[in-house]
Each structure stands twice: as C-alpha cells, then as structure tokens.
Structure 1
Amino acid sequence: MSDLKYVLSLDVGTTGIRAVVLDQHTKVHGSSYVKTIPIYPHPGWIEMDPEILWSQCKQVITDAIKASKVPAAQISCLGITTQRNSFTNWNRDTGKPLHNFITWQDLRAAKLCREWNSSFSMKSVTTGAKLAHTFTRASRMKAASSFTFTTVQVSIRLAWIFQNIPEALPMAKAGKLMFGTVDTWLLYKFSAGALHATDYSNMSSTGLFDPFQMGWNDFVINMLSIPRSIFPEIRDTSGTFGSTEASLFGAPIPITAVVADQQSALFGECCFKRGDVKVTIGTGMMMDINTGSKPHASDKGLYPLVAWKIGDEVVFLAEAVASSAGSMIEWGQRFGLYQEPGQTQAMAESVPDSDGVYLVPGFNGLQAPYNDPNARAAFMGLTFGSTKEHCVRALLEAIAYQFKQLFDILKTDVPIRLNSVRMDGGVCRNAFLLQLCSTLTQTPLDIAETLDMTALGSAFLAGLAAGIWTSRDELSALRKSQRVFQPQPLSQAVRDTFRFWERTVQRCLSFDLKGSYFHDPANDKPGAALDRQESLRSMHAPKASTSGAASASKPHTKAREETYQGGVKRAAVSDSVVSWSADFPNYSPTDYTAPVVLSKPAWADVDVRTEKADLKFNAVDGAVDRTSFEGTYQIVDGLPRNPKGRTGLAGRGLLGRWGPNHAADPVVTRWQRDESGKQILVDGKPVLEFVAIKRKDNGQWAIPGGMVEPGDTVSATLKKEFGEEAMNSVEASEERKKELETQIDQLFGNGVTVFKGYVDDPRNTDNAWMETVAVNFHDDTTVFEAFKLQAGDDAGAVKWVAIDQSLALYASHVDFVQAAAKLHNAHW
C-alpha cells in the first residue's frame, strides 16, 4: 500500500454531511455520513446552528479516517465542498456566531426581495443597463438589464440581517463582524480562527459578486448598504488554504481545494469542455453547462457563475435551478406515501399513469421559468379513486417535468452546442424518473457509476493541487458510466400530460402574496393607471358578449376559417379538438408567416425559430407588452401557444408579434336624432350610432382601432387611431378648432371599457393572436356634429352606423358595439 496516495473529501450538503477517504484510483477506503439538523423557527424560515454543523463535520471526518484505517498524517490533502448561499455572521473577537446559518432555502426576505425588485432604484438600474447594452452590446450590460434579486441569493437575506438584527451594523462598522458562507465558516474553524477566506465558485452565486469583473459587486453592496469590511478574502478554487489544526485529527491535513457543491459536481463529472452539461438531482435539481472562459449573459433565469479558478484559468458555467427535487421525495416519505424513497420507482410503475393527479413542486417557490418565490406546492386532480401510487407517480413526474423545462431553457438560451449530458445525485437511482427525463427531452442521459460526484469533484481539485493527479486526462479516465438512458418515442399522451401539468402550475403562482389581488402601485407598468380606472368603470358596465371572442363555452371560429388572408389554407380543426388538452395526435398545422412580417419591419419580432432573440414572454419586454389579458400563456418549444386553442396555422401569419398582439378599439357613439334633434326610438329605446370604417384589406366594416405601438398607452392609441382613421379633417375656425380639441380631449378622457381580452380574429395563429381593449366614448352633447368624418389612409370609407343586431362586422367588433348598446340601455 506504500504506493497509494490518499485524499480526504468533505461534502457539506443541505440534507447531509459526508466525508470520504479515497486513493488516486478513486477507490473509497472509508466514509461517514450524518444528516444535517435543520431548524424551522417560523414558517418559511430554515436555519442551521453553526456550532452543531461544525461538530458534525469534525465527527464525520474523524469517523471516515477511522474507517479507512489510514492515519491522518498519510492523507495528502483535504478538499471541501459545500452547499451554496447559506451564511452566517460571527464576532471577530470571540468567534461566536451572531445568528444561525440562514440557509439558501430560507424565504424570510421574500417581502424585501419584492420591494427591491419593484423599486425605482432597480428599474433605473435595469433601464440604464438596457440602454447601455443597446449601444455597447456588452454582455455585462445585458445581464444587468434583467437583474433581479432572489431569495436564493445571499445578498437580499444579508440585507435583511442588517435591517432586523440591531447589533449587526454597529459590529460591522467597528470591524468586529465577519461574514461567511458554509465554506468560510469551516475554514475559520479548521484554522482555529486564522483564516477568513472563500473561493470564487462559492462567492459567484451570492449576488454580491460580479463574474464579469471577477470581484465583489460594489454597486450591489452599496445599494443594499452592506458594510464592505465583513467580507472574506477570495482565493483560487484549487490551491493553498492552509491546514487543519493538528489537534483536530491527530495531524495537520493540508486544505488544497474549496469549491461550491454544483461546481464540484461539474468537475467530478469531468465536464471540462465548453458545452459539457451535468445535472445533479439531489435536494434540488441543478443543471449546469460549461460556457468556457466567458460568463453567459442570460435573461431567462440562468445564472452566470464561476465554475472554478485555477491560476490564470477561469471557467464559467450557466445554471438553471429547481430548488425542490430530492427534498420532495423526502417530504413524500414524511407525509406517509411510502416508508423508504427506494419504493417510489415500483409504486410509480405499478399504475399506467397518475390518473389525472398532478403535483406542483412549489415547496420553496418556483425558479426558472417562473421565478416566483411566492408559488406554493399542491396536489391537484385528486378524486376518491386516487391512490398513493398515483400520487407517487405524480411526484416523480413533477421532477421530470422540471427537468424538461430547465433543459429547454438551456438549449434555447445558451448559444453553445450541447455535448453529452451527465447525471449524478442520489435521485438518479430512480430508473423510472431518469427514463422519463430522457424521453421528455429526447436526449441520452449518461448516469455516473459514482453518484456522489460532489465529493469526487472536490477530491479531484484537491488532488490536482497536491500533485496526486497531474492532468485532467487522468481524471477523465477515472470517470465511469453506470448506464446511459436512451429516449423512447415521445407519445402524444406524454406531451399532453406535460402540457396539462404546465397549466396546473399556473394555479399556484403568487399563492403566498398576501393581498396580491389588490392594487400595489409599485407593480404598475406604463398605462396601468388608465387600465385600472377603466377596469373600475367596467365593473359597473354590462359585460360584453364573448361569443365572438372565443369564450370557454364556444371555441374561436374566425381564427379557424379555412382560407387565411392571402389564400393560405389552414389545417382543419373541428370544435371538439380546438382545446390543446384534446387528443389530436395527427395535428399538423400549416406553417405560414407573411413575407411582409419576415422582412423585419419595426413593428415585427424576429423569427425566433431561425434567429437568436431575447424575447421575454409573459412580461413587459422593454417597450413591448407581451403579457396577456388571458393570464399566463404557455411556452412550448420556445414559442407562445394560443390560449384559446388550435387554429390550424402555425407561425405568425400577418401578425408582427409572437404571442399577444395588443390593439385598442375606440367605440365612439352618439344618439341617432331626427331633423329636429330629437332622439329616434325603436321599440321604446333610443338608437345608438357608432363610427365605423371600411377596412381596405378585406372590405369589412369595423371599429377604427389599431395596434398599441411599443411605448404607447391604451388611451393614446385610442385617440390616435380614431383621429387617423375616422376624423381626418375639421371644418371650423382656428378658435373653434381649439375649443373642439379641448372637448375631444375631455371625451377621450372618460371612456368606459366594454371589452378587454382575446379577440377571435381571422389573423390569429397557434403562436400569435390578437387581444384588445375596447373602450366606449359616448358623446352626450353634439360635439361630433362639428366634425366631418373622412377616411384616413388605412380606411376605405367611414360613416356613422346605427347599432342593431343585424350588424355584420369584422372579427369580434359586433360584440363590442352590442356591449356599448347595453351599457346605455339602447336599442339592439
């Protein structure tokens, strides 16, 4: 055994602590494991006692060395890998913690996080960064343009500490406070207080570090008013961190690597090349891709992190995270669904499906693509026929569905060809889950022979620094595969189940926002004040008929007309299969985007299927509002999905925007009068007239509306479109014109919303659709008598038209004028 060299690895995870003694051939000679002891002082708070954690680390190392029968003096080096973003602060003089570890799963700062993200300061930062990125195209500015605080990061929870623990700030100002994540605390304890240090991989995930500058992010630190003096020294991942105190284990052991857990697993999986992907499914699910020597700027929820820094070499990764995976399986055990996690595979395979049961995995909020810390978990679809087996299958499927979502984000957001996908973590023992992940993504998954890649990675990094291994080629030869899961054909049933699960998740978003359905001015977007005013008015108005607007009781019809404008034929879609949840295995829509749209006019998006684009769906994307009045719409294969169902046509057709295309339709009305000026009555009710234009593109009569252009408000668009399309000239003196303009401004300042939502428009497709706000502006005076209606460039003709049920209008416009008639109790 004289030729053997030994490495000690300490892996401090969220649910457990493991120490392993292994040799240069990666043979394990001794190991020890103990579960961590979480503390739950309040709902959503998750802590650990620093002193207890330190005692547990000492114990597992002592036990592993004893089990290996290798004296501490013969152990060449120690590598430490830890959970990220759990932190504490301690007294520099006494070494006593000021508070428990605030773990990465802790939600106490959720309110503070929301307040900061909606603050003027943050909006100024992101707006300024967007402008800077427009001119410089700098990746750092792109990342800053979509920067938000999250509760997973240290930054916002550390700010909470200074706001809620009175002693913290005075101690920091006096130079008596030391901050550290788990690795920093352990280095301090191993060195008997001599070392206050960390490594780049650990600090890069805190939200306090700038990966583009490779240093502390002074802007964020100053913005949150965090004293700079509390932070540790940042060192290379693989290098010299001193030694453990001799009295701890019988001899000093050199510490030659400190690395964050996911970066350690990436190194252990030998993902040394740009494009290599590893997925660790442990407590959470961490999907990482090696992005090479440059950090990846993302606006899709991927975090640019330092993978490792060794000398002059810096390797970065992009990471997508789901915080609940293995922790869900442990919860299922505590909940009584099974006695041991190992039973879950057989239970899931004992039933053909989940029988309509779905699990929303929001135990600690939801990360990408939802990024909602206020989401909560729920079983849905339970019936008296539901069994434990159905629930277990739903639980495992939820983990697999998260895997697919993260993988899809990785593929679309990172402009790097993905190499092999390597898997590790305790949950990878579940073959049912891994096979489903492979099938959903249609990607082979390489399962490591050693599932504990986190411990192996820190051993590799420590051993390289100590000279046990001299090259990464040696390490790659040591990495063995246990099994490669090959994807099975992706059936329509699996696709539909996944899509229904996505819809189910929407029901649990923002679940923990107390009072979230009430107005919060901080969450307003441009034009929100008008929309809110219109909504309050419309609460007292008759609801518009939705028969033309694709109501739940009747599917859209005009959006399925056989011949699309320009002669393109849609695929046939019957009423019974309009809904995406309806089984339609042979659905093959015609793919069409008009040449004028593809010519890249200013009002159109790029083709995201062929060009790289950073479109933020379900959000206000710069000046473009991509939110929907129908709620959150699905994104499938990178494309928005029509919330009202199939149309028989994919692509954008004649519409410029992917997803919702927002319009504004002014329903301008007056009373129909006879020559003497008296109101005309029909069946005892007065008759309304409205301004109609004849569309040049199809010859149909319509309301003179138009698209809400980027940066415009609904009110401005309503007035502008009416002026451009219907009221092209005024015959009056200049003085009278000014008087009339004042009256028009007053009229257009007091509209009543009669419809807001999806429009059954013949231009709609599976991936692009029309939505509108229809507002009634009623002239109870005679101000419009002074105006001569004249068609603008977009209209063939314009006139006042009496409102009654015989009207035939474009799209859903008849519903809007009917609603106006009901609002005024007029003839219909």
Structure 2
Amino acid sequence: MGGAVGGVSRSGPVLAVDQGTSATKALVVCPERGVIGTGRAPVHPRHLPGGRVEVSPEELYASVVAAGREALAAAGEPVAAVGLANQGETVLAWDPATGAPLTEAIVWQDRRAADLCAELAPHEEKLRHLTGLPLDPYFAAPKMAWIRRHLTRAGTVTTSDAWLVHRLTGAFVTDAATAGRTQLLDLDSVSWSAVALDLYGLGEEPLPEVVACDRPVGTTTAFGGELPLTGLLVDQQAALLAQGATVPGAAKCTYGTGAFLLARAGRRPVRPTTGLVGCVAWRLGDRTDYCLDGQVYTAASAVRWLTDLGVIAGAHDLDRVAAQVPDAGGVTFVPALAGLAAPWWRSEARGSLSGLGLDTTAGHLVRALCEGLAAQVAELAQAVGAELGAPLAELKVDGGLTRSAVLMQVQADLLQVPVVVSASPDATALGVGAAARTGLGFPLPEALFPAGEPSAVYEPVMSPGEAEDRRAAFRSAVSHPTPPLP
C-alpha cells in the first residue's frame, strides 16, 4: 500500500504497548521481520488489607513511556503508528483540564466495591441483560461508583486507558472493548447505557467517547517525534485477536497476573447462561464482534504469593520444584486469593489448601497450585463448549506462565485436548499492534502479524477418568469454601 505517516511508510513497523498489571511491555513489530525491538518497565501494585489493590497512575504513565522508548531504541528505526492495550477494569478519577490524577488507580483485582454490588443485587439481572456482565466488583462501574461515594466528586472518573490516552494525545476516548468491561455499555447498541449509569449513580458523569479499536485518535510526542495513535484495545481481546481468532469458536487463554479464557462468538451479542461473560471482542471500522469471556483472578499473582512465602524463587522455579515429586500428593489448592470469578462469581471466596500432611513438600504445593489454576481454566473451557454447542478442539495459550512445562502439561491433561503455546508470550502487544495497523488502513486478516510455529504443543497424557477425578476433587473443594474473615 502507498502513502506515509510522518515520513514512514504505512506498511512499516508499529509500536505496540501493553500496559499491564505488573509491567508494561512494548514491541516494535514489522509485518515482514516480526519483533525487532522490545521494552519493559515494571509496575508495582500495592496489595492492601480488605482486598484492596492500588497503583500510582503516574507510575502507569511513566511505564508506558519508558517501555515504548526502550523498544524504539532497540529497533533503531522509525515506526508508522502506536497501539495501546490496557488492563480493562482499572479505574481512577482525574482532572480533565490538567490531566492530573485525583486518586490512586484502583486495580481490577480490587474488591472494595463488594458492598456496593450487594446494594445493587435486586438489579443484577437487568444489568446482566443490558451489559452482558454479572454484578461483581471486578468490573469498572462498581469501582467508579465507589470512588464517587468515598473519595471525590471532582474531575472525571474513567478506566485507566482514557486517562493514558488523554495524557498521550489530549483526546477523551475509550475503545468499544474496554467500554464493554465497565458494566455501563449497552451490549446491543455499543453505546453508554443510561439505565446502567443511573443505577450506579453515574448518570451525570462526563464519559469518554466510545470509539472503534482502529480509529486514529490523535498524535503523541511522548516517545520522541510525532506519532499517530491508531489502535486501542483492552488486553485480553487484543490477545484473542493476535491468536488469529478470526472465526467463531476459536479460543485462547492468556496466563498473566490472572488467567483469561476468551472465545470468539461472532457478530451477535451473546448472553451466556453458564456463568461466562458475554462482551465486545472488538470494533474494527463499523463492524463489532463479540466474545465469551471467563476469568481466573490469580495466576501469576498466585505464583508470586508462593514466592513471597519462600516456597519457590519465582515463576522460573516452578518446574524445578515441581520435578521433585511425581504428583500433588493428594493436596488440593483452590487459588481463590482474590475471590472466584466465572463461572462461580463468588467475590467473598478465599483460597484454600486441603489434603496436607507432614509429608507435604514444596513440590506438592507447586503441583497443587498448577492443578488448581488448570482446573479453573478447564471449567471455563467446558462452559465455552456448552455455550457454543461443541467442545473446544484445542486451546491456544500465551502469557508468561506458558513457559512452565508442568503447568501446560497439567492444563492439557485436565482439558483432555491439546494446548498450543504461542510462539510469542506477548500476544496482547501483538494484538493491539494489529489494531494499530488496521487504523492505518490494512484490513483483517492482512493486518495480523504472522503467528509463526507454536513454541510447544502439549498433548494429554492423563486418562480421561483420572482427569475427571482431579477436576471433581477441585469442584468439591470449591463447594466447601473457606469462610471470609469477619
């Protein structure tokens, strides 16, 4: 294709930035040569009593700039555009006149709005039908309403992406997929729902314009030189796009701070009956696609918890410690360290360990954690199959924890289908990079970057009967939860 942006061919590389929970990653991606530059900047969320999780907004912005500049320096050549992916349900209040944050950013894992959700329980079915989302403090609207009730009435309150985009370009927008994570978006019209806004007491709020994920929204000089911002997409949907989920029924799971299984559902809104979420996958141009979504709140964050306890040295240590034992030794771990999401939706749930003995070792705990994570994903995959009318034939996976062979093998065993590990763990960045390319005029699937051969494929080796026994033990443990603290 001809044409140029800022002296750079539109077919040249793009800068793709994934602003995540524990780090911001940036890739410079070329359609012919793949990833030619990378950058990373850490983010430090604070886990506070009462299930509260906060992070400095200025740290989020600084990490975006630092990671982006590092990737561009590593690439050593100009790019045509920028794409930005975001955490989805993280929110803050800020001053639209100055861009200054008025509160800390309340992270998606935060549970402080549980009481507010309980107040809205009589309206849960109405909200679910309108927005596709269950009533849970995970989503953005309860946190936004909590900020208005307890912290400040000043400025505007939005998801973190709207603030980041405003800091970068001056625009006041959010993409359709991120808006769909608020419980304020009408699933049918893909516009703000007056009914949902009124129920949350947010009817008078100045909200960002809901735009397509590939709409150019402005230019930024934050990375050096003037660059157009042409792609915006929430993190998990970006990973779904990168995994080539361009046909209904294709599914992926990303193992990051949490684990998130999404399946493409087509062009009609879905309102699941199995405990999954039905939401916008993306809007590209004037076309909206929808997906099924299931969540595990703690994945890498559960690994970090074991690390903080001294059981392992970090995620890189999972396989070494797990190799010390052949199995979990009868230990069952429900890693509900921030509550249980789909398909249970029990925000009050707490993690539990059962089957412990004097012979329980660190290896047993690691294997039990892997089984607990994999069992939750298997329950989500079963629900997806029920919604789509056919079981998944395989599961594509990405994210940092896919480097653990033990976890991926357990996942294949409990699913009883192959687990296909992406050639790149950074699918979210690749997906928003593809959105940025469509914003430059490239249609799907041309805008997608070549996936390459998978880095690994794990076939089930466990018998179906044993897999079902282990999943049944996990479901039993979930049905006998640890009571919440008073």
Residue type of the partner of 1:100? E
Which residue, out of 429, 444, 455, partners 1:482? 455
> Which residue is equivalent to 2:138?
152
Alpha-carbon separation, structure 2, partners of 1:216 and 1:369: 26
> Which residue is equivalent to 1:779?
none
Residue type of the partner of 1:108? R
1:260 aligns with 2:264: no
| CA displacement at 1:471 relative to structure 2 | 4.4
Counting only pairs closer than 5 Å after superposition, residues 47-58 of structure 1 correspond to structure 2 as: 47-58=54-65
Q: Report Cα offsets for 1:243-277 as digits up to 9, x if no partner.
A: 103xx333111111000001100111111011111
Counting only pairs closer than 5 Å after superposition, residues 264-663 of structure 1 correspond to structure 2 as: 264-415=238-389, 418=392, 420-467=394-441, 469-473=442-446, 475=448, 477-490=450-463, 492-508=465-481, 511-512=483-484, 514=486
Counting only pairs closer than 5 Å after superposition, residues 112-151 of structure 1 correspond to structure 2 as: 112-117=116-121, 119=122, 122=123, 126=125, 143=129, 148-151=134-137
| CA displacement at 1:92 relative to structure 2 | 2.4
Task: Note if contact 1:143-1:299 (Cα within 8 Å) is conserved in structure 2.
Answer: no
Q: Report Cα offsets for 1:307-329 as digits up to 9, x if no partner.
A: 11112211110101111112111
> Which residue is equivalent to 1:233?
209
Closer, same or farther: CA 179–337 of 1 in aligned 2, 3 Å: same
SS at 2:174's partner residue?
A: strand
Q: Report Cα offsets for 1:502-533 as digits up to 9, x if no partner.
A: 21222325x2264xxxxxxxxxxxxxxxxxxx
Alpha-carbon separation, structure 1, partners of 2:33 and 2:217: 23
Residue type of the partner of 1:260? V
| CA displacement at 1:371 relative to structure 2 | 1.0
1:244 aligns with 2:216: no
> Which residue is equivalent to 1:532?
none
Closer, same or farther: CA 384–489 of 1 in aligned 2, 3 Å: closer
Unaligned residue ranges in structure 2 (runs of 5+): 1-7
Counting only pairs closer than 5 Å after superposition, residues 145-184 of structure 1 correspond to structure 2 as: 148-165=134-151, 167-168=152-153, 171=154, 177-184=155-162
Closer, same or farther: CA 403–40 of 1 in aligned 2, 3 Å: closer
Residue type of the partner of 1:186? L
Residue type of the partner of 1:81? A
> Which residue is equivalent to 1:138?
none
> Which residue is equivalent to 1:28?
35
SS at 2:455's partner residue?
A: strand
Task: Note if contact 1:62-1:249 (Cα within 8 Å) is conserved in structure 2.
Answer: yes
Q: Report Cα offsets for 1:347-394 as digits up to 9, x if no partner.
A: 223312212222111111011222110111122222211111111111
> Which residue is equivalent to 1:8?
15
Residue type of the partner of 2:480? R
Task: Note if contact 2:393-2:417 (Cα within 8 Å) is conserved in structure 1.
Answer: no
Alpha-carbon separation, structure 2, partners of 1:319 and 1:498: 20
Task: Note if contact 1:88-1:179 (Cα within 8 Å) is conserved in structure 2.
Answer: yes
Structure ID, larger Rg: 1
| CA displacement at 1:95 relative to structure 2 | 2.3
1:81 aligns with 2:85: yes
| CA displacement at 1:445 relative to structure 2 | 1.9
Task: Note if contact 2:133-2:183 (Cα within 8 Å) is conserved in structure 1.
Answer: no
Residue type of the partner of 1:156? P
| CA displacement at 1:145 relative to structure 2 | 11
> Which residue is equivalent to 1:611?
none
Alpha-carbon separation, structure 2, partners of 1:146 and 1:272: 21
Indicate the structure whose relative CO is greater, using CA pairs within 8 Å and at least 6 residues apart.
Answer: 2
Alpha-carbon separation, structure 1, partners of 2:207 and 2:253: 31
Task: Note if contact 1:276-1:419 (Cα within 8 Å) is conserved in structure 2.
Answer: no
Closer, same or farther: CA 476–80 of 1 in aligned 2, 3 Å: closer
Q: Report Cα offsets for 1:593-612 as digits up to 9, x if no partner.
A: xxxxxxxxxxxxxxxxxxxx
Which residue, out of 56, 75, 78, partners 1:68? 75
**Percentage of matched positions with identical amino acids:** 27
Task: Note if contact 2:95-2:101 (Cα within 8 Å) is conserved in structure 1.
Answer: yes
TM-score for both structures, normalised by structure 2: 0.93
Alpha-carbon separation, structure 2, partners of 1:142 and 1:36: 32
Unaligned residue ranges in structure 1 (runs of 5+): 130-140, 172-176, 515-828
Counting only pairs closer than 5 Å after superposition, residues 632-781 of structure 1 correspond to structure 2 as: none
Closer, same or farther: CA 312–416 of 1 in aligned 2, 3 Å: farther
Closer, same or farther: CA 379–26 of 1 in aligned 2, 3 Å: farther
Which residue, out of 105, 108, 112, partners 1:108? 112
Counting matched residue pairs gives: 478
Residue type of the partner of 2:160? V
